[in-house]
Amino acid sequence: MFHSVEQSPGDPILSLVEDFKRDKRAEKVNLSIGLYYDEAGQVPQLACIRKAYERLANTWDKPELYLPMEGLASYRQAVQHMLFGEESEAVKAGRIATVQTLGGSGALKIGADFLHRYFPQADLWVSRPTWENHIAIFAGAGFTTHEYPYFDPKTGGVDFEAMCACIRQIPAGDVVLLHPCCHNPTGADLSEAQWDVLIPLLKERRLVPFLDLAYQGLGSTLEADVYAARAMVKAGMAFLLSNSFSKVFSLYGDRIGALSVVCQDEETAERLLSQLKVTVRRNYSSPPVRGAQLVNIVLNDKELARLWREEVAAMGARIRAMRQSLHTQLSTRLPGQDFQYLLAQRGMFSMMKLTPAQADRLREEYGVYILRSGRVCMAGLNEQNLPPVVNALAAVFST
């Protein structure tokens, strides 16, 4: 019966992780998937999460019942405070519908299914390039997808003019997926001044912004990284925001995130929440409990929340230090080449000027794993693996 089922070519990111695990070389370096590693090369358990686990320890002998479809109430509220600010008028007015989701991907899926059900004519627009799974998730939900120009390989930054020119042509009602900070895969972000131009344009064109936020606090501060979302609230716009806690709480396997939909008023938000619940029920019924409990304990405790903010700030600072070191060492080794873009790009990733063949060479000859698109995970670098990585990059760049 299943004879006609074809072999999938595999996911461009997750297949590399499998290849990396199989690689027997001791000196191999994983700069492919978006995992934050500490200076010792370990994916850390955050101290705030360890403390949260201690508080959960006396509950191990009680069974966990199903969470409601929308997730843990206190977690959902903490998420709104973190994204929009405790004093946000929209939060206080109750005009944001938030559901707990299975990481950021789960939030995208729930958002995509919901949008396609209510606005079947709407297409999706993503940046060129974007995280591959954006296209897969929305296409899977039934969307036709298009790209708007975004990354300029010549400068390593955003081609903002071309981006706006395209957005001016997008039909009203279409969905535009945007990265509020730490663009994946390029690290090229819009400045606040550029958001200030783009937001009125999106509003005037009556487009539906869908912000995907997976790295809040790793680009700049926790507040600065949600500038776009808060500016959209101030502009009185309705929009969707998916957020993931995988990286910033180092809770990858717990699959914890949220989808928030900012509405015009509380009554609409209530109706919308009822439909998000239906969408969750049809997909996986209700979300898992552990990740929500952990994040909830941290965000709702002053002391643990302060500790978490410090830990996120330290992660961001370490990534920036690695960018600086990579820039210095590559510029010394290859004085004719300009690596300034490494310093301007932000967050976990940088798009380096490498061809798929060069990426293959890095992997095959040197055990340095990066995506074939040229995306390099800066958060996988440390003082120890930097010299061999620089050697490998210098060899590949100079031949």
Query: Which residue numbers are catalytic?
Result: 131, 212, 247
The answer to whether 12 and 354 have CB atoms below 8 angstroms apart is no
Closest to ligand LMR by CB, 10 or 171 = 10
Which is closer to ligand LMR, CB of 67 or CB of 379? 379
DSSP secondary structure letter of residue 182? S
> Which element (helix H / strand E) includes 297?
helix 290-299
Helices (H), 238-346: 266-283, 290-299, 302-333, 341-344
Instruction: Output the smallest distance, CB 87 to ligand LMR, in A.
Output: 31
Report the run of H or E that residue 357 belongs to, with start and end. helix 356-366
Between 176 and 376, name the residue whose CB sits nearer to ligand LMR: 376
Select 36 or 148, whichever has its Cβ closest to ligand LMR: 36
Residue 244 DSSP code: E
Q: CB 67 → ligand LMR: shortest distance, Å? A: 23
For residue 261, what are the β-bridge partners? 97, 240
Q: Contacts with ligand LMR in 10-29 (CB under 6 A)? A: 13
Binding mask 77-116 for ligand LMR (x = CB under 6 A): ----------------------------------------
The DSSP annotation for 126-173 comes to: EEES--HHHHHHHHHTT--EEEEE-EETTTTEE-HHHHHHHHTTSPTT
List the structure tokens of 136: 């897969």
Q: Shortest Cβ distance from residue 277 to ligand LMR (Å)?
A: 25
Tokens standing for residue 142: 């039934």
Q: How far is the CB of 32 from ligand LMR (least distance, A)?
A: 7
Shortest distance, CB of residue 83 to ligand LMR, whole angstroms? 18
Structure-block tokens of residue 380: 């996988």
* CB nearer ligand LMR, residue 88 or residue 133: 133
Least distance (Å) between residue 17 CB and ligand LMR: 9
* Region 159-188 residues binding ligand LMR, contact defined as CB under 6 A: 184
The b/e string for 68-91 (b: 16+ C-beta within 10 A; e otherwise) is: ebbbbeebbbbbbebbbbeebebb
Return the DSSP state at 6.
P
Would you count residue 131 as binding ligand LMR (CB under 6 A)? yes
DSSP 199-220: HHHHHHTT-EEEEEES-TTTSS
Of residues 287-316, those binding ligand LMR (CB under 6 A): none
**Calpha distance 156→153 (Å, rounded):** 5
> Among residues 29, 30, 31, 34, which is the contact residue for ligand LMR, using CB under 6 A?
34
Residue from the set 19, 23, 28, 33 that interacts with ligand LMR by CB under 6 A: 33
Q: Would you say 133 or 329 has its CB closer to ligand LMR?
A: 133
The least CB distance from residue 246 to ligand LMR, in Å, is: 7
Q: Does 350 bind ligand LMR (CB under 6 A)?
A: no
Total number of residues that touch ligand LMR (CB under 6 A): 6
Q: Nearest-CB residue to ligand LMR?
A: 34
Closer by beta carbon to ligand LMR, 252 or else 308: 252
**Other C-beta atoms lying within 10 Å of the C-beta of residue 309:** 15
Task: Compute CA 391 distance to the chain's CA centroid, rounded to the nearest angstrom.
Answer: 30
Residue 87: half-sphere exposure toward Cβ, Cα within 13 Å: 1
Instruction: Report the interface residues with ligand LMR, using CB under 6 A.
Output: 13, 33-34, 131, 133, 184
